[in-house]
Structure 1
């Protein structure tokens, strides 16, 4: 097959335009380097009226907002899914792993919850803490300066609480708790569970001329047309271009492999253009993979050569190993005290929770290591089909018919809507070598690229953590004077409602960092041990997940790695 090779040589090629790729684009372009961004999906700008879904109403669609090709509803800004047409993946028998891909400029940052938590000092030293897993080769003090920079550049609301493992930052004013959250605060207090303002990357205050301020439409999952919330394209890549950076974006471009020379150093990437189905090559001094933990591992494993017969950067045979996702379990309760709500009460707010509970437990007294935080949902945001007023859940609880059509439906909605409070536990699983992704030798995607096969199972430790979540949720519902919905409390037969691996969409660890090339893939600056001009700046290098969402740490480590790359390029070391 004839491959078209570009004559232009970039300083840096960045594969992927999400959190890690966007941050590297901003830092490297601002430093004066010529950058190519290669994205597998199409161009996207949330301010473009042709693609904008913000402020559309359910009645604007014959589906009333129900999802068609979007798993999180018709208006959710997620051009991707668990299953992407033409891009399959396979699983080992007995594995339930689900792999989310987002195919658009900005990647997953266009529709995520924007929960923006720092890892704490304990999170970088898991093995020292409880004997499980491994310690990171870096600590909180190494990353803190970059967390600080990310807070100031992007903006995050919250409050300084002085909690040891939930570090303080530079916060914008948080929105006030809504009524269902006030009920939650009261219920949590009875059980000694802390509740603090959420830490989320939406602007409640003006920080620069490029971005607007949140006007409380509550639709952050649709990506913000005034750039008030954090998305990689609107907050990092577009400003890099605006500031005069030399940034060329290649969209609808599926990277096959990292190309190398006779010495085994990277020379660029090879990609398939999804529109004409032809293969192209780009050249650069440095290649950065930020395609997501699993996608970057796939690219490395498919980048085989005489110098790298086991895949690029895989002399340790650890690329794809130690894959792990956040644990997750959920519950919801009907709270009679929230019935017959007065709609005059101000329910304005961001698209997500205004308060949450950081981990409070003492693991030395529990039967599982690490912890989880609690996310809270409820209130009277605008519903659409399948969300908010769940008649089936009420029918199951009351043993009678709720809802229907016409006046009966309207009366019941007024009576019950806003009376449900839900909880999501998001915790840390232990990284294990026998949870991994690898290349399936029998399957390729529509572009002829070998696909990933997943092998992943939870251990008893994660199941016991999920049980603790469910016990806590039931106690909270009781404290709020409520009754549990969704079929009651999940039991052992369903692993206490523990979500399948991958479903929380926090997969990390496939290219773990470390000091020893025999037991890790990258060094402490996200640089491949085997190839010094290739860097991984998504969540692949994570040694452990922590009980926090991983995006803020991806951003901080990407900035840290970018500073190192800038120094190495200027000194002509790579």
Structure 2
């Protein structure tokens, strides 16, 4: 069973740790696990509250068991059963601002809970491809990564084995295959996905098995532990046991509720429990990091944080500091650290806060007559999409008017209904009531299908964050101020999404109403894929860290979250954040052994 998450007795820390990890999500959770398995004493500091998915996840609750039948509220944007607690785009007492004159207000999602966004995300786990790592060499825009896909391939394999990812190898350009035997079998497509797949063949859009971090079958813990940690007997023992305790998916509820049986990937069920088992990890929740402390020798000595329950200042010390608070929070911590007058700690290149990116998003759906009156069956499936479309026009950007691509997510059909599920009756059955309305509800419910695009944004000079010169949060810490302007590239990409989705829906028998790109594009930050505010690079003059997430300026300070990504490929960033953190921790430990850190 999952061990209860600890809060340190009297919230006292050790005088000195080998490493402090700020943040407990994908990057922070992975860093804590790898370091603890290798014998390092680690302190994890989380700004949000303690959270245990095994006791707090309402996996089998139905909508009528919740307020407003589970519908969304201002503090629960994705519905009552969304796993996020105490967080969202607004957090009481912790504001952020947008610079006057900004074209579009940036939405900043903060989870504020142990495990961060990994409790809430869609679990879509796509590898960045060879072209993604060398994007500037391909089209002259942005910058290349300081490594290649070949450098990352083995780390993707390791992460996929560890967390469990279902999918197939389809051999599509720039949507890389995993090594043989790494992926778990994908679930079968639902009715709507089968219709979409048929439509895709007619219009030339490939629709294949999705890659998601959900167990479609039980893991072979002993075998995988030996493969993942070949020279570490303690790690093998701990991970063999822990991985074997995870149950395969029950095909029951949406993954954004969290998962009490540990079938999907969350830091709180997959990374933190085995890290705790080592005896090398301490965890403090409700602790807001204000700044990184730096000694006279220029090295990080620890962090200064606010103990939220007592509203008192505390300091924790370590040989190495790892910041993994999420892209914008990581940038904010550095900006509030030594060198504020120069833009923050580690900012000798002037790139801190710059190059902020989010995924380009646009949606379109329609009523599909062929999906009416279907016999009921379990369409909940693996708690998310079973199929998706990787970007299929990799070599045709010269004709498209925008340089980077998008993938397509999709969904519809008869999953567990909620309050909003019958909104279609307002259009299909106006004025109907009584027994006729019930008949219409049975006919039309589950007969809609939709597509969502997730596209790559090119970094531009108009999208960045900085400290607001006047506003502070309830802890007295200066807050972030955002500046944003979508470029024509992204507007045109969103319009291409709309036209593609309309073509697919028409082939499925629907009558969609596509919008212009400017009207369809989602708000900046709304997709919750923001990255890039402290990008890595091959030299200190144009980046904040090297390829191992080590800051150029402070050798024992590492950043292990989306902040370091030099570009924002159309793939969801979590899998790459996990892989980068594992790779960087292995390199960091070797550097420490050699006395370089």
1:427, CA displacement in angstroms?
Answer: 0.5
**Residues 17-56 of structure 1 aligned to structure 2 (within 5 Å):** 17-48=24-55, 51-56=56-61
Query: How well do the aligned residues superpose, as a CA RMSD in angstroms?
Result: 1.6
Once the two structures are superposed, residues 289-343 of structure 1 have per-residue CA deviations (whole angstroms, 9 ceiling, x without a partner) of: 100110000000000259x854110111211100000100000010011111211
Deviation at 1:239, TM superposition (A): 1.2
Is the CA contact (8 Å cut-off) linking 1:5 and 1:281 kept in structure 2?
Answer: no
* Runs of 4+ deviating beyond 4 Å: 4-7
Alignment of 1:156-171 (within 5 A): 156-169=165-178, 170-171=182-183
SS at match of 1:221: helix
CA deviation map 1:425-478 (0-9, x unaligned): 000010123310000010000111100000011100100001100000110111
Which secondary structure does the structure 2 equivalent of 1:317 belong to?
A: coil
Following the alignment from structure 2 to structure 1, what is the Cα–Cα distance between the partners of residues 279 and 201?
Answer: 50
- Residue ranges of structure 2 left out of the alignment (5+ in a row): 1-10, 220-242
**8 A Cα contact 1:436 1:455, kept in partner:** yes
Correspondence 1:559 to 2:582: yes
Higher helix share: 2
Q: Structure 2: how far apart are the matches of 1:222 and 1:61?
A: 13
Tell me the equivalent position of 2:247.
Answer: 212
1:353 corresponds to 2:385: yes
2:484 pairs with 1:456: yes
Match of 1:132 in 2: 141
Distance 1:571 1:321 in 2: 34
Q: How has the CA–CA distance of structure 1 residues 425 and 402 changed in structure 2, closer, same or farther, with 3 Å as cutoff?
A: farther
Which is worse superposed, 409-418 or 278-287? 409-418
- From 527, 535, 551, give the equivalent of 1:528: 551
Counterpart Cα distance in 1 of 2:37 and 2:287: 24
Cα displacement (A) at 1:219: 2.0
- Counterparts of 1:503-542 in structure 2, within 5 Å, are 503-542=526-565
Matched, 1:226 2:261: yes
What is the alpha-carbon distance in structure 1 between the residues aligned to residue 12 and residue 272 of structure 2? 25
The 5-angstrom pairing of residues 207-356 of structure 1 reads 207=219, 208-242=243-277, 244-305=278-339, 309-343=342-376, 345-356=377-388
1:149 maps to which residue? 158
For the 8 Å contact 1:5–1:282, the answer to whether it is kept is: no
Q: Please identify, of 89-98 and 320-329, the stretch whose mean Cα deviation from structure 2 is larger.
A: 89-98
Distance 1:403 1:451 in 2: 51
CA contact (8 A) 1:328 1:424 kept: yes
The yes-or-no answer on 1:498 pairing with 2:521 is: yes
Q: Secondary structure at the match of 2:17?
A: strand
Structure 1 Cα separation of the partners of residues 30 and 403 of structure 2:
32
Instruction: Name the structure 2 match of 1:367.
Output: 401
| Matched-pair contact (CA < 8 Å) for 2:343–2:352 | no
Structure 1 unaligned runs (5+)?
none
Matches within 5 A, 1:376-391: 376-386=410-420, 388-391=421-424
Instruction: Tell which deviates more after alignment, 556-565 or 61-70.
Output: 61-70
Aligned pair 1:174/2:186, yes or no?
A: yes
Q: 1:337-389: per-residue Cα shift (whole Å, max 9, x none)?
A: 1111211x442511111101100112122111110011001011101122x33
Distance 1:221 1:228 in 2: 12
Deviations 1:404-436 (A, max 9, x none): 6x6444322201011100110000010123310
Residue 202 of structure 2 is aligned to residue 190 of structure 1 = yes
- Correspondence 1:461-480 to 2 at 5 A: 461-480=489-508
Query: Is the Cα–Cα contact under 8 Å of residues 40 and 252 in structure 1 kept in the other structure?
Result: yes
Q: Secondary structure at the match of 1:64?
A: helix
Structure 1 distance, partners of 2:212, 2:160, is: 10
Q: Describe the shift of the 1:131–1:305 C-alpha distance in structure 2 as closer, same or farther (beyond 3 A).
A: closer
1:421-432 map, 5 Å: 421-432=449-460
Question: Structure 1 residue 84 and structure 2 residue 91: aligned?
Answer: yes
Counterpart in 2 of 1:98? 107
Could you tell me which of 395, 403, 408 is aligned with 2:426? 395
Residues 200 and 265 of structure 1, relative CA distance in 2, 3 Å threshold: same
Q: Distance in 1 between matches of 2:567 and 2:108?
A: 19
> How far apart, in 1, do the equivalents of 2:398 and 2:461 lie?
25
Task: Check whether the contact 2:378–2:415 (CA below 8 A) recurs between aligned residues.
Answer: no
Match for residue 75 of structure 1? 81
Inter-partner Cα distance in structure 2 for 1:318 and 1:567: 28
Once the two structures are TM-superposed, the CA of residue 163 in structure 1 deviates from its matched residue by 1.9
Q: Give 3-state SS (helix, strand or coil) of 2:496's partner.
A: helix
How many angstroms does 1:5 deviate by?
9.3
Displacement after TM superposition at 1:483 (Å): 1.6
Q: CA deviation at 1:185?
A: 0.6
Whether the 8 Å CA contact 2:254–2:380 is kept in 1: the answer is no
The answer as to whether partners of 1:82 and 1:101 remain within 8 angstroms in 2 is yes
Change in Cα spacing, 1:342 to 1:191, as seen in structure 2 (3 Å) is same
Residues 341 and 414 in structure 1, CA contact (< 8 A), matched pair in contact too = no
Offset at 1:499?
A: 0.5
Tell whether 2:236 aligns with 1:203. no
Size of the aligned set, in residue pairs, is 555
Residue 402 to residue 204, structure 1, CA distance change in 2 (3 Å): farther
Cα pair 1:440 1:452 within 8 Å, conserved: yes
TM norm structure 2: 0.91
Structure 2 Cα separation of the partners of residues 291 and 403 of structure 1: 51
In 2, the alpha carbon distance for the partners of 1:290 and 1:249 equals 14
